[in-house]
Amino acid sequence: MAQQINLLTPILLKPRRHFTATAMAQALGLILVGSLLLAGWIQGRSEQRRAEFRQRQQALQAEQQALSRSLAGLPATTDIKALEAQIKVLKEQQQGQAELLQSLRSGHQVAGERHSDLLALIAGTVPASVWLQGLRWQSGQLEISGGTLDPAALRAWLVQLQGQALLHRLALADVRLEMISSAQAGSAGTPAPAARLQLPAGAGGAALPVWAFQVRGVEPGLKLAAGKAIGGGQP
């Protein structure tokens, strides 16, 4: 009796092996390649982090050195009273500059502080033995030059000017008084202020000595500087 045999029966087929030596070698190769790639990436990131750390460390050291130099340049002790005095002077300067700016913006100066007020004050108080050669004035600074036949009258007049409300804050920072002869007045070889002095008529007599003077006044905290000329020349 004939029988049919199915050769495709799983029992009769050769069993398929999943973990063969070839498959395991391929898997190990893939794992090795992946591990090498991962190790390379980690190494690159590590080198990048090290470089950033070195840069930050160098920047920190540079800042520390700059701070050390700055601290070394500071004074050992700080005088609080001196700082307060400087702050007070700066506030006064700021107030004066603000007033000047306000007057410039408004187009006129405060009554009693105009140039015309100063000219009127000087014209009304200058002694007969004193004549002016030049007059410069700006906010906080005053310069007067000229000649006199009586130094005592000049000193009294300067004291009188300082007592006026317009000039009460001025301090005479520079006063020059030089006795000259009539021949030296206005001479190019004569030191200032005598070189710029022009004698009025009748002031060059041989019996009367002549003194050339230059007075510069400034408010506390300001530096002397050339001001705006508002008058000058021979009287």
- The enclosing H or E element of 131 equals strand 130-138
For 200-211, the pLDDT digits (tens) are 555 555 456 788
**Is the same domain home to 141 and 224?**
yes
Q: Which residues sit opposite 210 in a β-bridge?
A: 180
Q: Which residues on adjacent β-strands are paired with residue 215?
A: 144, 175
DSSP classification of residue 147 = E
Q: What is the mean pLDDT of residues 184-213?
A: 58
162 and 226 assigned to the same domain? yes
Residue 52 lies in a domain: yes
In this structure, the answer to whether residues 56 and 121 fall within a common structural domain is: no
Helix (H, G, I), strand (E, B) or coil at 130: strand
Residue ranges with strand state E in 80-208: 130-138, 141-148, 171-180
Q: Has residue 207 been placed in a domain?
A: yes
Same domain, yes or no, for 158 and 226?
A: yes
Query: Given pLDDT bands bounded at 50, 70 and 90, which one contains residue 43?
Result: very high
Residue 82 falls inside a structural domain:
no
Residue 190: pLDDT above 60?
no
In this prediction the pTM is 0.43
For the segment 170-190, the average pLDDT, to the nearest whole number, is 66
Has residue 223 been placed in a domain? yes
User: Could you tell me if 145 and 42 lie in one domain?
Assistant: no
Question: What's residue 172's pLDDT?
Answer: 74
pLDDT value of residue 8: 60
Are residues 132 and 205 both part of a single domain? yes
Q: Does the pLDDT at position 180 exceed 80? A: no
Per DSSP, 169 falls in state T
**Structure confidence at residue 228 (pLDDT):** 38
- pLDDT tops 50 at residue 139: yes
Q: Is the pLDDT of residue 101 over 60?
A: yes
Split into its structural domains, the chain has a count of 2
Q: Do 222 and 144 share a structural domain?
A: yes
Q: Based on the fold, state whether residues 129 and 218 are members of the same structural domain.
A: yes
- Determine the length of the chain: 235
In a domain, 28, yes or no: yes
Whether 93 is covered by a domain: the verdict is: no
Q: Which domain holds residue 216?
A: 115-232
pLDDT over 80 (residue 16): no
107 found inside a domain: no
Quickly list DSSP for 189-224: TSPTTGGG--PPTT---TTS-EEEEEEEEE-TTPPP
| Residue 70 is assigned to a structural domain of this protein | no
52 and 120 part of one domain: no
Residue 82: both structure tokens together: 């001196």
Residue 31 has pLDDT above 90, yes or no: yes
Whether residue 38 is predicted with pLDDT greater than 90 in this model: the reply is yes
